[in-house]
Structure formats: structure tokens, C-alpha cells
Amino acid sequence: MPVATTDTAKFTPAMVVNTKDYSCGMPVTAGISDTCHYEGKAYGFCSTECKNEFLKDPKKYLVTK
């Protein structure tokens, strides 16, 4: 039976519409540890904390980017 390893990416940049984490600015190519869906699109984040910050006011981040 195959065993999951920690170096296997759960999310890839191809799965999300953003190229940078909207909360901290880190490129999603560096690693995506969490995602969310907003208005029918998937967004990737480097951490749950960054995702939660984005979800407090998504429009604020999407208007400026």
C-alpha cells in the first residue's frame, strides 16, 4: 500500500487563479498550504493564517491586485 509523504504537494499553482498570496505577497509557486473558493474561483495561500486574513475582506485584496 502506498504511503503519503510530506513532500507531495496537495495543491499546485495550476489549481488556483492567483500567482501570489494576496495576504503576504509570497509567490504561490513557493508552496500552497491552503485554499479557498470565492465567487467561483479558487485562491491559494501559503498558510491558513493568510487565507483567514483574505477571507475577512476578500474584495479589499482583489480590488488592489
CATH number of 54's domain: 2.30.170
Residue-number span of the structural domain to which 17 is assigned:
13-64
The DSSP result for 7-37, as a single string, is: TS-SS-GGGSS-SB-TTT--BGGG---EEEE
46 occurs within a structural domain: yes
Residues 28, 51: Cα–Cα separation, whole Å: 12
Domain membership of residue 37 (yes or no) is yes
Question: What pLDDT is stored for residue 30 in this prediction?
Answer: 93
Q: What pLDDT is attached to residue 1?
A: 46
Quick one: cell of 14?
495550476
Domain count along the chain: 1
Q: From first to last of its 65 residues, what are the pLDDT tens digits of the chain?
A: 454 444 555 889 999 999 999 999 999 999 999 999 999 999 999 999 999 999 999 999 998 65
Q: 4: phi > 0 → left, psi -120 to 50 → alpha, else beta; which?
A: beta
Residue 4: what pLDDT?
Answer: 43
Residue 8 in any domain: the answer is: no
Q: Is 48 a domain residue?
A: yes
Compute the distance between CA of residue 22 and CA of residue 32 in angstroms, rounded to an integer.
Answer: 12
Using one digit for the tens of pLDDT, what is the confidence trace for 33-45?
999 999 999 999 9
